[in-house]
């Protein structure tokens, strides 16, 4: 029997409450989540269920109101802002729906930018950028600007930017949301390929077709996990019913 991969991150009894003068909104309630190294999970659910809030906490862009978050055996939810920024830069790669490329920077410069905060030699940055762009099939566009690329190409560059720093986990927030079906399927194929090569991926999506690309589907409703489905179990059940 192949031993289970080690746990990469754990959320324990995580809640998130947003408070204004007049109302208190419970965005997350008692979230328990473990993700193993090399696992590919998708987070699904209706609008307003807490998907984006959960991803923001996983990406250290926000902190829980209560509960704990452990990443790579280190508790990160109670860190200072500067410490969280350092962990975020080194451990987490972000892929956004809107690409978030900087228009006046070239493809190369967009991918290199997060690495400039690591105080690494230029030669090392160059190798990481080159490797990442080759991995997503965009090395031939290195001198182009985002406006000269299609949406699908821009998202590939965004994936390269996320990969360049060799993070522990990739967080993808509706990565196909701004793409047509052809480019969306191409980006999903790229993510599946990266997963097969060992990447750990956590993706938020509203599209059930793309959610099924993951090993495990986490379904949220009203800030709670109401269902977890593993694809292998689903496939076995369908085979039994056939």
- The phi, psi pair for 71, rounded to 5°, reads -125, 125
**Residue 10 pLDDT grade (very low, low, confident, very high; cuts 50, 70, 90):** very high
Tell me: pLDDT of 79 over 50. Answer: yes
Strand pairing category for 7-19 and 24-36: antiparallel
Hey, which residues does 43 pair with through a beta bridge? 204, 218
In 90-142, at which residue ranges do the beta strands (DSSP E only) sit? Answer: 92-95
Strand pairing category for 216-221 and 40-44: parallel
Q: Where are the alpha helices (DSSP H) in 45-150?
A: 51-58, 81-91, 107-112, 122-135
Tell me: pLDDT of 101 over 80. Answer: yes
Tell me: pLDDT of 169 over 70. Answer: yes
pLDDT at 236: 41
For residue 82, how far is the Cα from the chain centroid?
21
> Tokens at residue 175, please?
């990565």
Tell me: pLDDT of 240 over 50. Answer: no
Mean pLDDT for all residues in the chain: 91
Please give the helix or strand (H or E) that residue 152 lies within, else none. helix 151-164
Gyration radius of the chain's alpha carbons = 18
The model's pLDDT over 20-75, given as tens digits with 9 standing for 90+, comes to 888 899 999 999 999 999 999 999 999 889 999 999 999 999 999 999 999 999 99
The H helix count followed by the E strand count for the chain is 8, 10
Mean pLDDT across 188-195: 94
Dist. CA 149–CA 56, nearest whole Å:
28
Structural domains of the chain sorted by starting position, each given as residue range(s) with its CATH number in brackets: 7-241 (3.40.50.300)
Tell me: pLDDT of 237 over 50. Answer: no
Dist. CA 173–CA 35, nearest whole Å:
17
Mean pLDDT across 178-196: 93
Stronger pLDDT, 242 or 44, i.e. the higher one = 44
pLDDT at 241: 53
**Residue 234 pLDDT grade (very low, low, confident, very high; cuts 50, 70, 90):** low
- The phi, psi pair for 203, rounded to 5°, reads -120, 135
Cβ contact 62:56 at 8 Å: yes
For residue 166, how far is the Cα from the chain centroid?
13
């Amino acid at each position: 029997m192949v031993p289970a991969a080690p746990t990469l991150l754990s959320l324990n009894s995580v809640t998130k409450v947003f408070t204004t003068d007049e109302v208190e909104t419970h965005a997350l309630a008692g979230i328990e989540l473990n993700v193993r190294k090399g696992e590919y999970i998708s987070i699904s659910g209706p609008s307003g269920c807490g998907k984006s809030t959960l991803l923001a906490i996983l990406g250290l862009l926000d902190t829980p109101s209560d509960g704990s978050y452990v990443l790579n055996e280190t508790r990160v939810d109670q860190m200072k802002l500067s410490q969280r920024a350092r962990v975020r830069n080194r451990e987490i790669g972000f892929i956004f729906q809107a690409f978030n490329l900087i228009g006046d920077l070239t493809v190369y410069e967009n991918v290199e930018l997060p690495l400039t905060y690591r105080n690494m030699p230029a030669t090392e940055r160059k190798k990481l950028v080159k490797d990442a762009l080759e991995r997503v099939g965009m090395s031939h566009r290195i001198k182009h600007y985002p406006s000269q690329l299609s949406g699908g190409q821009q998202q590939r560059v965004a994936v390269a930017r996320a990969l360049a720093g060799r993070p522990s986990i990739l967080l993808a927030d509706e990565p196909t949301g701004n793409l047509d079906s052809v480019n969306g399927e191409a980006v999903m194929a790229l993510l599946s390929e990266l997963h097969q090569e060992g990447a750990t991926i956590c993706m938020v999506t509203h599209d059930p077709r793309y959610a099924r690309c993951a090993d495990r589907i986490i379904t949220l409703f009203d800030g709670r996990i109401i269902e977890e489905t593993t694809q292998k179990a689903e496939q076995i059940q369908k085979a039994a019913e056939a």
